[in-house]
Amino acid sequence: MRERTRPPPESQRGQTLLIFAIVLSLFFVWMIALVADVGALYVAYNRFDNAALLAAQAGASAIDTGQLYRGNLRLDVGQARLFCQQSLGAAGVQGSCDQTTSTLVVADVREAVQLPVTLLGQTAVVHIRHAAKPAYGGGVGTVTT
């Protein structure tokens, strides 16, 4: 003979629905926090990327005219570093242009970004590096005579 199962008491009805609703709402809160953190990182990355690119290009504009008239396209290294650092400062970004040589300007930006929600931590580090070669007229890096 089969035993009949009794329906759950009135106090336990809808318990699964309640747990599902709580878990789903926590999941949505977590997703909103994740989107806020990733959005802040994306905006900061774009800002630092633009600043580093412009700083490298500014440094690459410091062509050594004495070398240029001899047929060599070279940078004035001191002036290139100065232009690069001034560009980073104007953008309000901390960075360095220490790896600049007579043929290449390197702008290196590394900054900590405050995250709006502490889901991924309080800060995240964004590191951007851009390099640029000197260019004059149609030549990049070399001048033909």
The pLDDT-based confidence of 51 (bands split at 50, 70, 90) is very high
The pLDDT-based confidence of 127 (bands split at 50, 70, 90) is very high
User: Which pLDDT score, from 0 to 100, does residue 8 have?
Assistant: 62
User: Which pLDDT score, from 0 to 100, does residue 143 have?
Assistant: 42
Contact 56, 130 (CB under 8 A): yes
The pLDDT of residue 140 is above 80: no
pLDDT higher at 46 or 121:
46
Q: How buried is 67 (Cβ within 10 angstroms: 0-12 exposed, 13-18 middle, 19+ buried)?
A: middle
The pLDDT-based confidence of 118 (bands split at 50, 70, 90) is confident
pLDDT digits (tens, 9 = 90+) for 76-111: 999 999 999 999 999 999 999 998 888 899 999 999
> 75 forms bridges with which residues in the sheet?
63
User: Which pLDDT score, from 0 to 100, does residue 132 have?
Assistant: 92
Mean pLDDT value of segment 118-136:
85
126 in helix, strand or coil?
Answer: strand
